[in-house]
Structure 1
Amino acid sequence: MSWDVLIFHAPADAGSVDQMPEDFDPPPLGTGPDVRRRLRDNLQDLDLSDPEWGHLVGPTWHIELNIGSHDPVDSIMLYVRGGGDDVLAVVARIVASVGGRALDVSTGEFLTGEPTQTVGWHGFQQYRDQILRGS
């Protein structure tokens, strides 16, 4: 179970996926080698031993980066597990590294860095904890 965040080039004026044109075709984030270089340059602890799947581990969280094998790279899916709000700054750093915008898949809204944008992350943690308590 993870909190999923999709990074891709989206229109700057869209606040959610519902506000995007139906025929929108996002430009790529860049070539595979360039995207991976930018990630390595900005995230020293990033493990890219498998160039299609990056791994980043923090004190209370873990992020898997599904970069894929396509060249150019159209998008990156982040699978965030664990807890703690410090992971939000890391997600923002990943987005800044590759460009584009981050879509919170659970809410359908783009992350903006505003405190209200943590709803998806906090909601994921609450749901996960509820499921684990029930088992």
Structure 2
Amino acid sequence: MSWDLSIQRFTKPYADASEIPQDERCLPLGSREGVQRAISEVFVGTDWTEPTWGIYGSVDGSIEFNMGESDPNEGFALHVRASTKVLPMIIELCHRHDWQALDWSSGEFLEQSENPGASLEAWLKYRDQIVGGK
């Protein structure tokens, strides 16, 4: 169980998935190696033993980066099992590279959201309820 996001780059920024026109096409993010390097600059210590699946861990939790096989990389998923302390890092990654982080739960883009932590907070509450709380 995780809170999930996807990272893409579009021809222009969108606030919500509903704004994306039918004919919009994602732009490549860069080479797989370049995208891995970009992630590792923000999420220091990410383990890329499996090149299509990076794993970041810290005292605040973990994030799995599902890169897929494509090169150049056209987008990737984040499977977050961490506190809201990782949100500024995800947003920083997006701002540095003109990427957008789509929250699969809300349909909003984190870096455009007035409350980027709302969906993660709801997921954390749900997770704690399911696993017996903290």
TM over 0.5: yes
Tell me the TM-score normalised to structure 2 length. Answer: 0.86
> Distance in 2 between the 1:74 and 1:85 partners?
26
The match for 1:55 is 55
Q: What is the number of equivalent residue pairs in this alignment? A: 133
Letter aligned with residue 126 of structure 2: Y
Percent sequence identity is: 31
Residue 6 of structure 1: how far off its partner (Å): 0.5
Corresponding residue for residue 104 of structure 1 = 103
Residues in 2 aligned to 1:121 and 1:36: alpha-carbon distance in whole angstroms: 24
Q: 1:117 to 1:42 in 2, by over 3 A?
A: closer
CA offset at residue 99 of structure 1? Answer: 3.9
Residues 34/56 of structure 1: CA separation in 2 closer, same or farther (3 Å cut): same
The answer as to whether partners of 2:14 and 2:112 remain within 8 angstroms in 1 is: no
**Whole-angstrom CA distance in 1 between matches of 2:23 and 2:2:** 29
2:15, 2:113 within 8 Å by CA — same for their partners in 1? no
Which runs of no fewer than 5 residues in structure 1 stay unpaired? none
Residue 13 to residue 56, structure 1, CA distance change in 2 (3 Å): closer
Amino acid at match of 2:86: V
CA RMSD of aligned residues (A): 2.1
Higher mean alpha-carbon deviation, 70-79 vs 28-37, is at 28-37
**Is 2:118 the counterpart of 1:119?**
yes
Asked if residue 26 in structure 1 is aligned to residue 58 in structure 2, the reply is: no
State the one-letter code of the partner of 1:18. Answer: S
